[in-house]
Amino acid sequence: MSKILICTGIYPPAIGGPAQYAKEVADELRREGHVVKVLTYGFEHKLPPIVRHKLFFGRTLLCLSGVDFVFALDTFSVGWPAVAAAKMLGKKILIRTGGDFLWESYVERTGDLVLFKDFYYDKRAFSRKSTLFHETRAKTEESILYTKGRAKLNFKERTIFNITKWTLQNTSALIFSTDWQRKIFENAYGLNPAKNFIVENYYGEKLPAVEKKNRVFIAGTRPLKWKNIERLKDAFAKAKKQDGTIELDTTGAPYAQFVEKIRSSHAVILASLGDISPNMILDALRTNTPFILTQETGLFEKLKDVGLFVDPENVDDIQEKILFLADQSNYLAQKAKIEKFNFTHSWKEICSEIFAIAQKKT
């Protein structure tokens, strides 16, 4: 039996991937006999940056007595103060990355629709293709300048970058859900590969089939610029001129209701500028619902023979794939592919892998 502290910015009833992940991991670890405490933002949500980080740092310190390891579910909001607190008291801490706060903030501020991978990649920094972390670390500042002639990071974003770099380099172990993000982060932040691990996201058992009674494409997501909603709406409007029976739904819902929406929908579509391992697509798999997904994702290699993938910068490509899936024969062929996909990765397996990483000497 171990005593584990889980740090997360959001937790149910809040909606979001980290909230659901934290709850499921906590519940499973408790079923296995471990003592688990979940520490999440409360009043911190109302405070400005740095102030809320300091408050969460203090709260984390108060919870570390007797803790065997800390499991944090982001790299900045709770990851930074949790690593600082754990390091102060000599506690082991694991961070599971989710999205990327820095890139998301940059796109939201500037409206510059840069792909996630392009935000970090600089051909000058990696021309030698070195994979040695001590060499890439020396080039981190160059890699983050973000080429292609666009604006550089402002002071706040550079501060976030430096804090994130410190956090990632000082955690006991770093857990990614995909190798795609791991490679990007190792180069960008000069990380030691020996401390980085892959624990895939949750792939649940298939849910009972329901009749697809509509022609709705589910695209419910947060109204953020990196989600690429405007291009998606543009592509869908063009597709609808050729097939007036299709509809686009961009509204969200609490998790259980959202899964039911997916089950009864025609398809799921996600054309964001970068999505690591989106839960919406994994829920589409569970419900045997055909999907269209951005090619800028860590799921591409695993699902390239199962779903349809689009270039998020190409409105015509998105439109073409929508119309392809609107065709009944194509639709049934895609549905058959998904029905044959039976890979699962349970919460029990996820917790076992996390716990095994926590037991490693670092």
Amino acid 223: pLDDT: 86
pLDDT value at 144 more than 70: no
Q: Where are the domains of the chain?
A: 3-202+346-359, 216-340
Q: Which two tokens stand for residue 185?
A: 């982060």
Q: Which band of pLDDT confidence, cut at 50, 70 and 90, is reported for residue 120?
A: confident
Range of lowest pLDDT (8-17, 85-94, 160-169, 305-314): 8-17
The string over 108-120, giving b where at least 16 C-beta atoms fall within 10 Å of a residue's C-beta and e elsewhere, is eeeeeebbbbbbb
Give the distance, in angstroms, between the CA of residue 99 and the centroid of all CA atoms in the same chain.
4
Using CA atoms, how far residue 31 sits from 27, 28, 153, 200, 344, in Å, is 6, 5, 45, 21, 20
Distance CA 182, CA 205 (A): 27
Residue range 292-320: mean pLDDT, rounded: 97
Amino acid 72: pLDDT: 97
pLDDT value at 350 more than 50: yes
Query: Do 38 and 6 meet the contact criterion of CB atoms below 8 Å apart?
Result: yes
Average pLDDT of the chain, as a whole number: 89
Amino acid 139: pLDDT: 42
Q: Which two tokens stand for residue 326?
A: 């609107």
Range of lowest pLDDT (8-12, 320-324, 343-347): 8-12
Residue range 214-231: mean pLDDT, rounded: 92
Q: Tally Cβ neighbours within 10 Å of residue 243.
A: 12
Tokens 């960008």 sit on residue: 188
pLDDT value at 129 more than 60: no
Amino acid 213: pLDDT: 75
Query: Do 268 and 292 meet the contact criterion of CB atoms below 8 Å apart?
Result: yes
Q: Which band of pLDDT confidence, cut at 50, 70 and 90, is reported for residue 99?
A: confident
Specify the 3-state DSSP secondary structure of 41: coil
Distance CA 318, CA 269 (A): 9
Residue range 39-49: mean pLDDT, rounded: 91
Q: Which two tokens stand for residue 45?
A: 């949500």
**CATH superfamily for domain 3-202+346-359:** Glycogen Phosphorylase B; (3.40.50.2000)
Alpha helices in 5-78 (DSSP H): 17-31, 51-63
Query: Do 113 and 107 meet the contact criterion of CB atoms below 8 Å apart?
Result: yes
Using CA atoms, how far residue 252 sits from 150, 219, 221, 232, in Å, is 33, 8, 6, 16
Q: Which two tokens stand for residue 163?
A: 């804090």
pLDDT value at 138 more than 60: no
Q: Which band of pLDDT confidence, cut at 50, 70 and 90, is reported for residue 175?
A: very high
With pLDDT > 90 as the criterion, what percentage of the chain qualifies? Answer: 75
Cis peptide before 13 (omega within 30 of 0): yes
pLDDT value at 134 more than 60: no
Q: Which band of pLDDT confidence, cut at 50, 70 and 90, is reported for residue 362?
A: low
Amino acid 141: pLDDT: 42
Amino acid 17: pLDDT: 80
Query: Do 270 and 280 meet the contact criterion of CB atoms below 8 Å apart?
Result: yes
Hey, which bits of the chain come out as E strands?
Answer: 3-8, 35-40, 69-72, 92-96, 173-176, 196-198, 216-218, 247-249, 267-270, 291-294, 308-310
Q: Which two tokens stand for residue 311?
A: 């270039």
**CATH superfamily for domain 216-340:** Glycogen Phosphorylase B; (3.40.50.2000)
Q: Do domains 3-202+346-359 and 216-340 have the same CATH topology?
A: yes
Range of lowest pLDDT (18-27, 251-260, 263-272, 286-295): 251-260
Give the distance, in angstroms, between the CA of residue 356 and the centroid of all CA atoms in the same chain.
22
Amino acid 136: pLDDT: 43
Handedness of CA 219, 310, 204, 38 (dihedral sign): negative
